[in-house]
């Protein structure tokens, strides 16, 4: 069985502001500008831009993978910091 998928994949963003605010970050009530920015950063799709650059041949596979790994580590850091507070 061949499970390879070689067609374009489009990701549709959706809003889970309340889930991020209360369940993930534990913030209730009106958010500060900094908290709003942190939610936006947490919701960022970590792989989109590197893969677009790779597909457009503007970057190498190694560079794209390194950027994805960096973004994932940043996401984990934000999540762990929120959980600790």
User: What is the mean pLDDT of the segment spanning 4-13?
Assistant: 59
Distance (Å, rounded) from C-alpha 48 to C-alpha 11?
Answer: 9
Mean pLDDT of the chain: 76
Query: Where does the pLDDT of residue 73 fall: very low under 50, low under 70, confident under 90, or very high at 90 and above?
Result: confident
pLDDT given at position 57: 93
pLDDT given at position 56: 92
Q: Regarding predicted confidence, which is higher, 68 or 57? A: 57
Q: Regarding predicted confidence, which is higher, 19 or 57? A: 57
């Amino acid at each position: 069985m061949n499970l390879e998928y070689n067609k374009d994949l489009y990701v549709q963003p959706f809003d889970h502001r309340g889930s991020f605010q209360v369940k993930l970050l534990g913030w209730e009530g009106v958010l500060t500008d900094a908290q709003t920015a942190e939610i936006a950063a947490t919701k960022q799709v970590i792989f989109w831009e590197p893969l677009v650059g790779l597909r457009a041949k503007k970057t190498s596979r190694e560079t794209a993978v390194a950027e994805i790994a960096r973004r994932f580590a940043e996401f984990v850091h934000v999540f762990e910091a929120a959980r600790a507070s």
